[in-house]
Amino acid sequence: MKINNKYAGLLFAFLMSLFMALLMSGVLTAIHLGFKPDFIGRWLHAFAIAWPIAFPSIFVIAPTVRKIVGKLTD
């Protein structure tokens, strides 16, 4: 099943924010706390805070970034 192309921007923002928030919350949790027994719980807690911020941010900022990239490239 494919998603209608009119939702491509929303899907991009959803997936990009999901992966970036998951990655960055994991890295920062590891840097600040180390790999302790409760690492995964703390990581998921940090992700739960980060992702709701990342998703609308990427959704709003992505068009501007695409314009900047268009001006910087051929």
Q: Domain ranges in the chain?
A: 7-72
Q: How far apart are CA 51 and CA 55, in angstroms?
A: 6
Tell me which DSSP letter residue 38 carries: T
Closest CA to 25 of 53, 46, 4: 46
State the amino acid at position 43 in one-letter form: W
Residue 1: what pLDDT? 84
Residue 29 contacts by C-beta under 8 Å, 6 or more apart in sequence? 39, 42, 43, 46
pTM to 2 decimals? 0.78
How confident is the model over 35-56, as pLDDT tens digits? 999 999 999 999 999 999 999 9
Instruction: Indicate the pLDDT class of residue 74, thresholds 50, 70 and 90.
Output: confident
